[in-house]
Chain A
Amino acid sequence: DVKVTQSSRYLVKRTGEKVFLECVQDMDHENMFWYRQDPGLGLRLIYFSYDVKMKEKGDIPEGYSVSREKKERFSLILESASTNQTSMYLCASSLYGRGASYNEQFFGPGTRLTVL
């Protein structure tokens, strides 16, 4: 059974704290993605990675960084958390390739982050 796990379901942090969100997949997928989900805005891509140590900015990378030291693990880092980063954060993974079978993304359960 394919699985994407995230380190926390709920997280409460204070403004200015450094925050790490971890994502692990066991499907040997090359691609990994970090999204945030806000009411009325849907899922927006923050960063993605297509290989170890490789990363690309998504649509809203400001205030975030990422790390991919191992193929199965993709970390999202909030260098100095702010209240406007309060959101649901979702990780996903997929195979690398152009064919239809590579299209499906598998999602983790999400981390609801509150920044006070």
Chain B
Amino acid sequence: KNEVEQSPQNLTAQEGEFITINCSYSVGISALHWLQQHPGGGIVSLFMLSSGKKKHGRLIATINIQEKHSSLHITASHPRDSAVYICAVRSAGGTSYGKLTFGQGTILTVHP
């Protein structure tokens, strides 16, 4: 079993729909990251969470430390949101090297 599991692996939506991507992890963590990767592009950081909830524009990320679960929500989805969304965690009590463990990614396609 992977330490970080994302669901779903593939997600197709119509423009305007509310989207949720889930991430579950099995280790104690000091931080959880949500990353975005557009086709052919590099990876950019969307959120870094250690507790609670963060919001940036139409994107909302939540984390429940007790349940070891995080969700990424996209409200009023748009075709430009089409990308791979990746969850990554930094284990608690680790070294100062900042190693991350990644989920397999969720491929999101939003149709007009």
Is B44 an interface residue, CB under 8 A from the partner? yes
Q: How far is the CA of A56 from the CA of B31 in the complex (A)?
A: 22
Q: Please report the number of residue pairs spanning A and B whose Cβ atoms sit closer than 8 angstroms.
A: 65
Q: Which residue of A lies closest to B2 (CB)?
A: A42
Judge whether B104 and A95 touch: CB under 8 Å.
no
The verdict on A43 contacting B98 (CB below 8 Å), with A108-B42, A110-B42 known, is no
Asked if B99 is an interface residue, CB under 8 A from chain A, the answer is: yes
Q: For B42, list chain A residues within 8 Å (CB).
A: 4, 90, 107-110
Count chain B CB atoms within 10 A of each CB in A42, A56, A92 and give the residue with the most: A42
CA distance A45 to B61 in the complex (A): 25
CB distance from B23 to the nearest CB of A (A): 12
- Categorize the interface residue count of chain A: 20 to 34
- B43: which of A40, A90, A96, A97 is its contact (CB, 8 Å)? A90
Please name the 10 residue pairs, one residue from A and one from B, whose CB atoms are nearest each other, closest first. A107-B43, A109-B42, A42-B104, A43-B102, A103-B31, A94-B98, A42-B102, A107-B42, A50-B97, A98-B96
Residues of B within 8 A of A (CB): 9, 30-31, 33, 35, 41-45, 48, 50, 86, 88, 90, 94, 96-100, 102-105
Chain A to chain B contacts (Cβ below 8 Å), 23 pairs = A31-B98, A40-B9, A40-B104, A41-B104, A42-B86, A42-B102, A42-B103, A43-B86, A48-B99, A90-B42, A96-B98, A97-B96, A98-B30, A98-B96, A100-B30, A100-B31, A100-B50, A102-B98, A104-B33, A104-B48, A107-B43, A108-B42, A109-B41
